[in-house]
Structure 1
Amino acid sequence: MPAPFATSLCGYRDGKPNTSDSHDKQSVELGKVFFDVLGVNSEAPANKAIGNVMANEVSADLQNYLKEQAPHLSVVPEKPFTAFEQFSHLSAVRDLRQDMARDVVGAVNVLRMQSVNIVPDAEARSDLNVHLSRIQAELEVAESRRRELLDLLGEESLLKLDITVSRESSSPAAPATPLPHLVAGLSLKWSLRTDRAQDCRSQGAKMAGLRRGRMPHFAALTMEPRPTMLALLGRGSGDLDCVYHLHLPALSDAIDEYCSGSTFKPRLEIRDKFRRLRDQRRLRDYDELRGYLATL
C-alpha cells in the first residue's frame, strides 16, 4: 500500500513533473507517465518547499500509525545523532572544547585578591602569589596543549537524520541521564540526483562505523521514478538497508507502460533494472516501512 499522502505532493513545475530532472528528457517523459498513472492533474502546481512538506507528512503519518501499533516508539524529525545512546560519545570532543581552565584561573585570581586579608605576612603573601602565578602559567600551557590535541582529533561531521524512530532505554554508562535508543533512521529524498544519493550512502556508512551498539535500521525514502537513480542507493554496498518508495505500485505500472512495446534497448534496461530492484527487495513499498517499524 502506498503512502496515503503521496499523490497530494505531486505537481508540475514549468510543465514538468516535480519528481523530474528538467534537464533529463527521459526523466521528464517517465515522470509524466508516472503522474498520469497517479492521476495528477497537469495543472496541479508544484510545492516549492516539497522537502519540508514531505518530511512533515511522513513524520505525521508514522506517528499516527505507530501510536496504535507500537506506542513505545517515538517518531521525531530532524534530530542529531548525539541525542541517542549509541552515538552520544560523538559529542565528547565538542564538550572538551569548552574552556576547562577558566574556572580554575578565576579561583586563582580570587585567592590572589583575598590573600591580602588571609595572609598578613608580606613575605608569605609574596610566596603565595608566586605559587599562584606558577599554577596559572601551567594551566595556560596545559590548555594550549589540549586545544592543539583537539584540533588534531577533529570532529565527525554528521547530517541530522530526517526522521528518527526511537524507544526509551537505560544506559549503564549514564543511568541518571538515559538517552533514547535509536531503532531506525530515515533519509528523505523527494527525488534523486547523484550528489543526493551519495549523501544517503555516506550517512549510512558513518552510522555503521561510529555506532556503539546495534546498528539502527537505516533506509532512504523517495518518490524518484527513475530506476537508474534508485539503483544508486538500492544496489549499494550495504550503506542502506533498502530504499522505500512512496508509491511503488504506480511506479511499477508507469514503467511497464513506458517500456511496453518498445524494442529500444535502453528502455528495456530500465524495466529490467526496476524489476531486479523490486524482486531483490532492495526497493520496497511505503507500507512495508510502516509494518517493519512496528516490529522494532
Structure 2
Amino acid sequence: MTTSFASHLLGWKRLDKSPALVANTADTNSEPSKALAAAILEHLDIAPVVHRTNPKELGPALEHAVSRDLADTLSRLAPARAWQVDHRELVTSFSQYAHLARLSQLLRQHPELRAELGRDYLIKPDVTVGIEESPDPEDKHSFLHAAVSCKWTIRSDRVQNIRHEFLQMIRHRRGRLPHLVTVTAEPMPSRIAAIARGTGEVDAVYHIAFDSLTAAVDAVGSSQQKDDWQECVEQRRVLPYEELAATLAGW
C-alpha cells in the first residue's frame, strides 16, 4: 500500500555540486540507504527527475499531509464522532493533560521550581487527534484520542525524541492513554526497527510507502535488513499508513 499523498512528497534530489540524483528519503552518507530509497521510487514509477513541486521542507510537509489526510478520512469513516485533528497542538488542551496547564502556571509564578520540575511535559505532538466529547461530562476539554509523531526519516536522535515525548505523555496523563504512533518515510528497516522495537512508548510505526519498501527490501536489502523488516512486519510493529485512520476510527 502507498498512501495518496506519498507521490507528492517522495521524489529525487540532486547532490550538491554533483549531477547525481538520490531519493529524497536517503541518507546520502549510506549506500544501503540510497539503494533502498531508490528502489522504493522505482517501484512507485517515479522517474529520476527533480520536480520543482516537491517540497523542500519534507518534515513539515509530512506533518501537514498527515494532518489533512486524517481529518478527511476520519470524518468519512466515523462521521458520528466530532473529530478534532490539529497540527502542533499542546497536550494541555486535552482532558488527560489539562492539569499540566495549571502546573505550568504555577511554575511561571515560582521560577525557582523550574529546575526541579522542568518543562518537558509541555509537549506539542506533530499531529493530534481529539474527540470533542470528554468522558467526564463536566470537563470542557476535548479528549486526546491519538498523538502522531511524523518523522520523514529516522536517525538516533529522532528515536530518542519520540520515546522521550511519548514517555512523558504516558507518565503525566490522567485518564486513558491516547494512541501513540509514528508515521515515517524512512527507507532503512534497521532504523525503523530502532523505534518499532521497545518497551511500549510507541504503539506502532506506520510507513507511507509500505508495499514499495517491502519490494525494495526484497530486491536490494541485505540479509540484516530483510530480517529486521520481517521481524517488524510479522509482529505488526510496522504497518501500512492506510491502516491508521481505520484503527483510530474503530477504537
TM-score by length of 1: 0.76
Q: Counterpart in 1 of 2:250?
A: 295
Match of 2:128 among 161, 164, 167: 164
> Aligned partners of 1:205 and 1:214: how far apart in 2?
14
Equivalent runs, 1:236-251 vs 2, <5 Å:
236-251=198-213
Matched, 1:37 2:43: yes
> Aligned partners of 2:153 and 2:236: how far apart in 1?
20
How far residue 147 of structure 1 moved from its aligned partner, in angstroms, is 5.0
Q: 1:16 to 1:270 in 2, by over 3 A?
A: same
Is contact 2:129–2:146 with CA below 8 Å preserved after alignment?
Answer: yes
Is contact 2:63–2:150 with CA below 8 Å preserved after alignment?
Answer: yes
Please give the secondary structure, in 2, of the residue aligned with 1:221.
strand
Q: What letter is aligned with 2:36?
A: L
Match of 2:26 among 20, 23, 28: 20
Q: Counterpart in 2 of 1:125?
A: none
Cα offsets for 1:163-214 (capped at 9, x unmatched): 1111123475x93x61000011100011111111111111111111111111
Equivalent runs, 1:1-296 vs 2, <5 Å:
1-14=1-14, 15-45=21-51, 46-71=54-79, 72=81, 73-97=83-107, 148-149=112-113, 152-170=116-134, 175=138, 178-259=140-221, 267-296=222-251
> Aligned partners of 1:48 and 1:149: how far apart in 2?
41
> Aligned partners of 2:116 and 2:11: how far apart in 1?
48
Q: 1:290 to 1:153 in 2, by over 3 A?
A: closer
Please give the secondary structure, in 1, of the residue aligned with 2:95.
coil
Q: 1:178 to 1:20 in 2, by over 3 A?
A: same
How far residue 157 of structure 1 moved from its aligned partner, in angstroms, is 4.0
How far residue 154 of structure 1 moved from its aligned partner, in angstroms, is 3.6
Is contact 1:184–1:217 with CA below 8 Å preserved after alignment?
Answer: yes
Tell me which moved more, 147-156 or 157-166. Answer: 147-156
Is contact 2:92–2:122 with CA below 8 Å preserved after alignment?
Answer: no
Q: 1:168 to 1:257 in 2, by over 3 A?
A: same
User: In the comparison of the two structures, how many residue pairs are matched?
Assistant: 241
Tell me which moved more, 216-225 or 148-157. Answer: 148-157
Tell me which moved more, 28-37 or 237-246. Answer: 28-37
Structure (1 or 2) with the larger CA radius of gyration: 1
> Aligned partners of 1:252 and 1:147: how far apart in 2?
51
> Aligned partners of 1:243 and 1:32: how far apart in 2?
21
Is contact 1:228–1:273 with CA below 8 Å preserved after alignment?
Answer: yes
> Which consecutive unaligned segments of at least 5 residues does structure 1 have?
100-145, 260-266
How far residue 98 of structure 1 moved from its aligned partner, in angstroms, is 5.3
Cα offsets for 1:60-119 (capped at 9, x unmatched): 1111111111231221111111010101111123222455xxxxxxxxxxxxxxxxxxxx
> Which consecutive unaligned segments of at least 5 residues does structure 2 have?
15-20
Cα offsets for 1:31-64 (capped at 9, x unmatched): 1111111111111345211122212221111111
How far residue 275 of structure 1 moved from its aligned partner, in angstroms, is 0.9
Please give the secondary structure, in 1, of the residue aligned with 2:250.
coil
Is contact 1:93–1:150 with CA below 8 Å preserved after alignment?
Answer: no
Coordinate RMSD, CA, aligned:
1.9
Please give the secondary structure, in 1, of the residue aligned with 2:145.
strand
